[in-house]
Amino acid sequence: MSESGLWEGRAPLAERMRPQSLAEVVGQEQLLGDRGPLRALIAQGTFAALLFWGPPGSGKTTVGRIIAATVGARFVQLSAALTGVPEVRKALERSRELWTRVGQQELLFLDEIHRFNRAQQDVLLPFLEEGSVRFIGATTENPSFVLRPALLSRAQLFVFEPLTEQALRQVLARALESSQGYGGRVRLDEGGCELLVRRSDGDARRLLAALETCVAAHGERSLDRRAVSETLGRKALAYDRAGEEHYNLISALHKAIRNSDVDGTVYWLARMLASGEDPRFVGRRLVRMASEDIGLADPQALPLAMAALTAVEHVGLPECDLALTQAAVYLALAPKSNALYTGYAAAQQDVQRAPAEPVPLHLRNPVTKTMREVGYGAGYRYAHDERDKVAPMESLPSGLAGRVYFRPGALGWEAKIRQKLEALRRRIRGQSTADDRKD
């Protein structure tokens, strides 16, 4: 048989290498190790409903199959991406009937359960409430965002982690040596192994599919890094602009900038753009960071961030990538202050909690005779007529008089602003001294 037809008609490598028992499962030690909670639950066999949350290729479906075999249940797999509510309800009703009528167990495994909207998820609730079926729901999305609280409360949640590099190497070695895989007929040097593992991003299915592609392209022989690289081409990053990974990556970029970590800043920015993120979203977030985390500690941060956003709008990718990098690195290097953020938040809190007092009369504009007669503008002092252009006059409502919202820090321009602001506040409260007037 020719090399190209060696595996023709056989199942994909990932399916052939699927573990058949917990002893064969690689990774997920936190769940399936000797003290793992999921392993203990499987051994007891007392569960009714489980939820598996984890990235693709982390073993959710495999563990579901093993659980079914362990408890002696028929494994029924459906996908919420391909199946509607009527089909799921029919499967649940059949499973309940088989159990109550003849004692035959089924385990319904509903993959991509996040594809059901919250109303569609209601079909599961009566069955999970009565405990009449064994059920496992699997999702790659954060259950807090995509699943109903009622569903979360009726099932035990287990979090699957991406496979570690060590675990992926074990999967790779088994595929190369096992009779279910290539039985030692394919060799892979360290460079090729490293590239396959790194390109897989913790996904065993992706790893095995990539290996299978390499063998299909080059035949059964020794494969090196160059052969693997030529076959796989450019790395495709998993990303979802509307999903959790979108928020995880922008959170990482924001926190790297806030912590003045330039290298982390450049990496996360490059990662987002390479993943297909909208550069306008990145630019808008940089504008927000310029005020939230830097503010007046460096007044140039906001104009530079706005300039980068303008470059995005007028130039677009790929040319705008360096403008975004320039702004992001500047923000990371700038002195940090959250005084504007905390000051505005404190004012917002007073707006919500304190009585909405009327504007003091002396701050109202007396545009009519009647307004002047009832006291509008009475006591107002025009700042330009005052020495140093500051009048001893309160601008807050009486119930909030003397409140301090903006507290500049000790870095960058805010150190100078703080000194000036202290003098200004004394003058506004009529506490001006001779030293103040020297500023």
Domains in the chain, start-ordered, CATH in brackets?
Answer: 28-159 (3.40.50.300), 163-232 (1.10.8.60), 244-333 (1.20.272.10), 357-438 (no CATH)
Mean pLDDT of 331-354: 92
Contacts 24+ apart (CB under 8 A), 42-49: 42/66, 42/67, 42/70, 42/71, 45/70, 45/71, 47/134, 47/156, 48/128, 48/131, 48/133, 48/134, 48/135, 49/128, 49/131, 49/134, 49/135, 49/136, 49/137, 49/154, 49/155, 49/156
pLDDT at 66 exceeding the cut of 50: yes
How far apart are the C-alpha atoms of 15 and 209, rounded to whole Å?
10
The residue ranking higher by pLDDT, 233 or 439, is 233
Mean pLDDT of 53-78: 93
pLDDT at 375 exceeding the cut of 70: yes
What confidence category does residue 230 fall into, taking pLDDT thresholds of 50, 70 and 90?
confident
pLDDT in tens, 148-207: 999 999 999 999 999 999 999 999 999 999 999 999 999 999 999 999 998 888 899 999
Burial annotation 57-93 (CB, 10 A radius, 16+ → b, else e):
bbbbbbbbbbbbeeeebebbbbebeebeeeebeebbe
What confidence category does residue 338 fall into, taking pLDDT thresholds of 50, 70 and 90?
very high
The pair of three-digit structure tokens given for residue 388, joined into one six-digit string: 């140093």
The pair of three-digit structure tokens given for residue 318, joined into one six-digit string: 């790929």
pLDDT at 236 exceeding the cut of 70: no
pLDDT in tens, 420-431: 888 888 888 877
The residue ranking higher by pLDDT, 365 or 436, is 365
Per-residue confidence (pLDDT) for residue 420, from 0 to 100:
86
204 Cβ contact list (under 8 Å, min separation 6):
14, 26, 27, 57, 58, 59, 163, 167, 168, 171
pLDDT at 1 exceeding the cut of 50: no
Give percent above pLDDT 90 in the chain.
Answer: 50
